[in-house]
Structure formats: C-alpha cells, structure tokens
Structure 1
Amino acid sequence: MPAYPLGAPCWADAMFPDLDAAKSFYGELLGWSFAEGSEEYGGYTQALVDGKAVAAVVPVMPGMEGQPPMWSLYLASPDLEATADKVKASGGTIAMDPMEVGPFGSMLVGLDPGGVGFCVWQAGEHPGFEKVNEPGAFCWAEVTTRDAVAADTFFPAVFGYNTQRMRDDTIDFSVWDLGAEPVLGRMKMTEDFPAEVPPHINVYFVVEDCDAAVETVKRLGGAVQFGPMGSPFGRFATVTDPQGAAFSVIDVSTTEGEMPEMD
C-alpha cells in the first residue's frame, strides 16, 4: 500500500504488564488474532484482522516498569530527522531520540508543549496500518489536552495540518486535516476530567455494535468512562481495559444528529 503522508495517523500500539491478558481481552472485544511475537524486538506482537495488521501489543520494556499501560499513536513522516527538528523548533520535546527499528522503519517519541505524547514513524518495510475504518481497526484519534492553544499551534506547525474549529459553545473541539478528509481531532479537557488523567491521544477502534462492545468490556473486567453516546459520526464510548489502558470504541454505521458546523 502507498506510504502514509506527513502527519497521517499510521500505527498504534500499547505496552502491557500482562501480554497474554491483553491478547485475550482485545481478541474477544475487537476480533483480533495475533502474529507470533518477535523475540528480537522484545516480544512485539502485531494484532491482525483478516490477516491485516491493525495494531500491536508488547510486553513492558526494561526500564519502563511501573508505567501505566496506554495506547500510543504514530504519525507518519517521510523524514524523521526533519520532523524531530520541527518538534523542537515548535516548542515540543523529544522524549526518545530517532531510532531505527531494524528494516521496518524508524521512530521517535515526542511531547507537545502541553505534555501530549505522540510517536512519529518513518516507514521502511512496515508501512503501518494495513486496514482502517472497518470493525476491529483504527478509525480516528483525538489529541485530548488541557492546553488547547498550544496543541492548535504545535501540531499544525510540525505536521502541516489545516485547522477547523467546531461551532459549539459547550465544547472546545478542533479538527485537523491534510487538505482532504480530517485526520485528527483536538479536544480540550474540561473540569470533568479527573486531575490525575494526563493529556493524551485517545484512539478509536471500530466495532459493529457499540452497546454490545461496552457490555463485553464490562464482562471482561474493563470499565466504562463515558457513553455510549450517539453522534453524527457514530455511536461511541470511552473505556479502559482491565489493565487500565484507555481507548474508545465506535459504531460508525449508527449515526444520529446533524453534522456540526465548522469555522
């Protein structure tokens, strides 16, 4: 498949203290099967839907013990070093310097000025998602931050996004695009978010039935943080898995309400 353009979400993964438990949970919830973990890369294990790579799970790496599990989103770059320079020039921080991941590609980990963590991927043999916007696969993500001004300045400066602001007095929400379809949202955290919840990127996976998925999350020991709720984009809910990693599920075939106006 063609390479993802600069700034496009291209991959997601998460570290788990109990990898087998994570595989069992996501396998049942999202229908994932799993490739054999790579010993050379610390047990990194790709999740598959219909044989296509949709995400990855990995054991906690040495030196990262004790960090809470969380989903990481990767944004594409054709030139990792140039993107690293832009991150620093735009007020961000490089949390992990550019590094090669064998023949698969190269990556870095960055933070925006408001503390939102993100990864950048320059593809080699691994282009990223092989399936999106279908049940079990990634479809959307939102930069969720207390410093909306910093995010709206930083991410477009680094990745070339165009910004549209939602016309809604009850929510501070922007949409970023690359000249065509939207690629990311930006949500300002309100006082409803507990103080201990850090700024983050919320990753959405498609499910066939949001309400059924929520019941599965609860049955498997996870928790519901928000929803289910209908929207013009689909019926969605934000949940945490049994190990505490947060993400959202969305049924994109069940929509309600009018599309919001944007500026």
Structure 2
Amino acid sequence: MTEVWGSSETGEEETRHHTPGTPCWTSLLVHDLEATKEFYGRLFGWTYYSPGPRQLGPYVRATLDGHNVAGIGELPPDRQLPNAWTTYLASDDADVCAEWIRCSGGTVGVGPLAAEGAGRLVLATDPAGAPFGVWQGQRLLGPRPAGTPGAEGTPVWHELVTHDAAAVLKFYRALFGYETKAAGAVDSDAFTLHVDGRPVASIRGAGPSLRHPHWMTYFEVADVDATARRVAELGGRVVSAPQETPAGRVATVADPEGAAFTLQRTGR
C-alpha cells in the first residue's frame, strides 16, 4: 500500500491536476451533517469550512493544519441512501469517462456536472455495483503538513472490495489504463493498481457472499487500537478488530451512521 498524498507540494504544485486513475478525493454523504462533523472532529481533529454553494446540498471540506483531507455532504431528508465513503478517481475528461462507464456495464448516477468552478465530477457505480466518483480538475488533497512522516486522520490508501476482483479489474483497467500486479498469495483474488509505475490502489475479491461491493478508504492513525476504542466511545463500532498485516496494523470501524472505514498504522 502507498499513500495518494503529495510529499512536499506547495504553491502552484497544489493546483496541478492529478494523474488519471489516481485516487484523489474521498467524500461521505450523511443524514446528520453536524453530528458527523463532531464525530470525525473528535476522532481525527478535523476542522471544516464550506467551499460555497452546492448543487447537491450542504457540503463541507474537512481539513488538518489547513490542508483538505475529505468532504462531507448532507443528504436531503427524503433520501434514505446507505452511508459509505466514496473514492474519487482522477480523469482528464469526466464527460468521456461518464459515456464510457455507461457503455461498459456501469451506471452514472450524477453528472457530469461542474463543481464550484474547480472541476467536473461524476458519481457512478461499476458493473458489480460499487459506487465511485470521477474527478476532473484541480487537486483537492493538499500535501502532508511539512516535516511530518504521517498525519493522523489523512487518507492513505483506497481498496475496492468486490465479489470477483479479476472480473471487475477489466472495467477499471480499460477505463484508466492501470498497470496491475497480483497481490498476496498466488491463488488469491487480489490485485494492486499502478499508475506511472507506482501503486495507488487495490482490488480484492471477497466472494459471492459479499453483500455490497464498495471502495474502502484507509485513514492513517498513530495507534490503531486506541483509535478503534475511541470510535466506540464516540458512538461508532468496531467492525473488524485490530490485526497485523503486511501493510501495517489495521482495523475496520464504522461511524455512528454506519459508514465503514479502515484505520491503518503504516510501518515507519
């Protein structure tokens, strides 16, 4: 696993566009925006600001040390969608991506539409039903705070959990031109996606019993066990207890509205 953050970009570098296929943003739609802001603020130390009028309803960007880390929007009262973090993948042309998704077994739910003058976005689902976003435009994520090897509460990895990784891999590889490598054991249904020779995300097959294919966002923390306990104290729950993995110690948790995410302590 690797992070999607730039290591030392400042000034003009922050406005450059992301390389197509790179996970470039993560966002969450919730029923109670204020309660969700409080939960993540107390868990990760996020602060918030509103970037301006939104076509899709109230929306804030979460920040750490002045740098964007994620977005949270509020659903209309009559919309009862399941809560889940959505990974956005960068594109040079959101309109072309949307048409390709429609013609390749996916579904476009929203867009393409302009977003605050910073770019264009699409919300879609892949052929297996996993929601994801497409972003064309300026960088949304800022660099890590200067002088820190890691920053608690920042997104560091994105993984698609689906029924059959080998099958859905063809969709994403054709859409974004990923180079791919098998991950894990020889007979495991798992792949790492590479852009320009560097790993940016992964796809893991969980078998037909998986209820809802989804993209999982990993957030870095200093202490996985302590943060998982804190999630429960704040009204969330621990979905998968902390465990050691080749990529570091991880635990999957869910916020009070049920949106799952993974805590990760990477090796130093």
TM-score by structure 2 length? 0.86
Q: Is the 8 A contact 2:31 2:76 kept in 1?
A: no
Which structure has more RCO (C-alpha within 8 Å, separation ≥ 6)? 2
Alignment of 1:48-87 (within 5 A): 48-61=63-76, 65-87=79-101
Q: Which residue of 1 aligns with 2:58?
A: 43
2:37 to 14, 20, 23: 23
Report how many residues are paired.
Answer: 248
Matches within 5 A, 1:31-180: 31-36=45-50, 38-41=52-55, 42-61=57-76, 65-123=79-137, 126-131=138-143, 134-168=151-185, 171-180=188-197
Match of 2:10 in 1: none
Structure 2 partner of 1:235: 249
Q: Which residue of 2 aligns with 1:259?
A: none
- Aligned-pair distance for 1:96? 2.1
3-state SS in 2 of match to 1:91: coil
Q: Structure 1 residue 29: deviation in Å?
A: 1.2
C-alpha separation in 1, matches of 2:216 and 2:246: 18
RMSD: 2.0
Change in Cα spacing, 1:155 to 1:40, as seen in structure 2 (3 Å) is closer
1:253 & 1:3 partners in 2: Cα distance? 29
Tell me which residue corresponds to 2:9: none
Please state whether the residue corresponding to 1:140 is helix, strand or coil.
Answer: strand
> Quick check: 86-95 or 153-162, which moved more?
86-95
Q: Distance in 2 between matches of 1:51 and 1:217?
A: 24
Change (3 A) 1:159 1:97: same
Which blocks of at least 5 consecutive residues in structure 2 are unaligned? 1-13, 145-149
**Deviation digits for residues 203-249 of structure 1, max 9, x if unmatched?**
11111111111010111111111131112211111111011001111
Q: Is the 8 A contact 1:54 1:131 kept in 2?
A: no
Identify which of 2, 5, 8 aligns with 2:22. 8
Q: Distance in 1 between matches of 2:89 and 2:200?
A: 10
Identity %: 34
Q: Which of the residues 213, 224, 228 maps onto 2:227?
A: 213
Structure 1 residues 23-56: Cα deviation after superposition (integer angstroms, max 9, x where no partner): 1111111121111464545221010000100001
The whole-number CA distance in structure 1 between the counterparts of 2:51 and 2:102 is 34
Higher mean displacement: 210-219 or 104-113 = 104-113
Counterparts of 2:37 and 2:185, CA distance in 1: 39
Distance across 1 between alignment mates of 2:184 and 2:224: 26
Normalising by the residue count of structure 1, what TM-score does the alignment of the two structures yield?
A: 0.87
Q: For 2:199, which of 173, 182, 190 is the aligned residue?
A: 182
